[in-house]
Structure 1
Amino acid sequence: MRAPAANPREPRRHHYVPRLLMKRFAVERRPGQFQIQAFDKSNDRVFATAIENIAVESDFNALERDGVRVSLEAGMGKIESAAAEPIARIVQGGTLVGMTMEDRAAIDLFCALQFARGTGMRAQFSALAEGVEARARAIVGADARLDLVGDAEGMKAAALQLIVGSLLEFTGRFNDKDLLLLQAIEGEDFLLGDNPVAMQNARQFGPYGNIGLGVPGIEIYMPISSRFSLAYWCPTLLHQMREGAALADQRLLQARAMSVVGQGVTRAAALAALPEIEALRARLRRIPDGHLAGAAVAADAGNVTRLNSLQVRWAERFVMSRDGGFDIARRMIADDSAFRQGMRPRLD
């Protein structure tokens, strides 16, 4: 039976990084025409291209099986459209103030979609299947026919099924995080990887790993322009900062009191400690206070470098920017060739 032809109105070129994101890391050469700089991790090539021509594959979100064509592209387009206006307001205003519950829900769903789709997730699927198959062959024999990996279409089907079956669950994981807005300081720009939802975790959990949407301590980042990045943090992080700030408040009150009523060496020590305690209190309050106010939290050069390193690490192939500055990608790859590809699951 012949598979039905695709709807002629349905786009066949599917972007796995939406243009609504890429245009904010690009230069508008002509009205509505955006050019972005890209770094190819596989071969170190830097090139300029229109955003229509990168992070895109034919029928990436469509599948034909048993004479039936199924495409998720239209549904994904609706999710992108719903998030486009709230994201535009955030970038233009540089603040989360005014965000409604509907805005937050649309952005969370958009970020969950970006987490679940893309070449990075499919590469992880394939690597996991290959790892399981290698383990199985080691047990039952190298000549055993297992076919766990499957072909490219099978991997695509599994990846699309993940989106269909788990997107709402993933969205809930984003929704239960504290949402912050980070702003790169003047002279610094965020990079955009082709797998832009990047994660890190300072906590360690031994062989169980520390990366996952629901893992305690997780930090999730998705840049939305060269100046701004969304940050989804496990609520325990801000809670710890607020506890630390409360202790600093107590120390500050004690030091101020001793600077007034203390005598001799005690008073001198309190006066000397005041600037350090005040600076510590300010550092600990900066992010929690910014979160409560909905204000953008300044990301200094070190913070921007750290977030950009995550974009390089999680990108499967392409890293993009407005100005072509990819020194961090080159350094990371020179230090460790594993950075030429994206994240891979570990089977310990």
Structure 2
Amino acid sequence: MATEPNLARWHHYVPRMLLCGFATDRDMITAVRLPGDTTFTATTKSNGAQKHFYSVEAEGQALDAFEKSLGEVEADASRIIRQVVEGRVRLSEEDRSRLAFFIALQAARGPETKRSMEHVASEVLGSTIGASGKEALRRKVA
């Protein structure tokens, strides 16, 4: 993976703006290691995040392009959530739609979902190679 100076390296699958809502004034939170036997203290920067979790190598795109797109969705959601917390309960239809998209996105962005998708992709690739052979696959992707 190439190193670029302004590349986002820590990618949060639990948005930091949500973690900050539970943090101390020093950005520390208490987390529970599932299934719930152990607790630990961590920063909002490192908890709910992995290095290069959303990095994707695609021609013409920065490695962190997907992470930056998620950041735009999170910025909208942060603004809307702040309004709700401050007592503004009548959200516009557009804001309700943006918030619903953000909530739905949370269900599909964690490590377990990523592992499941990688497993499915591996199985499909294996089936394709098994059915067509490696040479046929090379011709398709060339």
| Cα deviation digits, residues 266-318 of structure 1 (max 9, x gap) | xxxxxxxxxxxxxxxxxxxxxxxxxxxxxxxxxxxxxxxxxxxxxxxxxxxxx
Shift of 1:85: 1.2
Shift of 1:91: 2.0
2:82 is matched with which residue? 88
1:44 equivalenced with 2:37 (yes/no): yes
1:10 equivalenced with 2:2 (yes/no): no
SS in 2 for 1:103: helix
SS in 2 for 1:39: strand
1:147 equivalenced with 2:106 (yes/no): no
Task: State the alpha-carbon separation in 2 of the partners of residues 104 and 68 from structure 1.
Answer: 30
Shift of 1:7: 4.0
Equivalent pairs, count: 126
1:107 is matched with which residue? 99
Retained in 1: the 8 A contact 2:10–2:46?
A: no
Task: State the alpha-carbon separation in 1 of the partners of residues 91 and 61 from structure 2.
Answer: 41
SS in 2 for 1:72: helix
Shift of 1:64: 2.1
Task: State the alpha-carbon separation in 1 of the partners of residues 62 and 16 from structure 2.
Answer: 25
Spell out the pairing of 1:205-220 with structure 2 (5 A cutoff): none
Give the direction of change, closer, same or farther, for the CA distance of 1:88–1:67 in structure 2 (3 Å limit).
closer
Spell out the pairing of 1:287-306 with structure 2 (5 A cutoff): none
Shift of 1:105: 1.8
1:201 is matched with which residue? none
1:117 equivalenced with 2:109 (yes/no): yes
Shift of 1:62: 1.1
Give the direction of change, closer, same or farther, for the CA distance of 1:63–1:27 in structure 2 (3 Å limit).
same
SS in 2 for 1:54: coil
Task: Give the % identical residues.
Answer: 31
SS in 1 for 2:69: helix
Retained in 2: the 8 A contact 1:6–1:69?
A: no
Unaligned ranges ≥5, structure 1: 134-145, 149-348
Shift of 1:102: 2.1
Shift of 1:21: 0.7
Shift of 1:48: 0.8
Task: State the alpha-carbon separation in 1 of the partners of residues 91 and 60 from structure 2.
Answer: 44
Q: Which amino acid aligns with 1:13?
A: W
1:79 is matched with which residue? 73
Spell out the pairing of 1:47-58 with structure 2 (5 A cutoff): 47-58=40-51
SS in 2 for 1:57: strand
Structure with greater Cα Rg: 1
| Cα deviation digits, residues 238-284 of structure 1 (max 9, x gap) | xxxxxxxxxxxxxxxxxxxxxxxxxxxxxxxxxxxxxxxxxxxxxxx
Shift of 1:112: 2.4
Task: State the alpha-carbon separation in 1 of the partners of residues 17 and 84 from structure 2.
Answer: 13
Spell out the pairing of 1:272-283 with structure 2 (5 A cutoff): none
Give the direction of change, closer, same or farther, for the CA distance of 1:65–1:129 in structure 2 (3 Å limit).
closer
Task: State the alpha-carbon separation in 1 of the partners of residues 36 and 103 from structure 2.
Answer: 29
2:57 is matched with which residue? 64
Task: State the alpha-carbon separation in 1 of the partners of residues 110 and 35 from structure 2.
Answer: 17
Going by fraction, where is strand more abundant, 1 or 2? Answer: 1
SS in 2 for 1:64: coil
Retained in 1: the 8 A contact 2:12–2:48?
A: yes
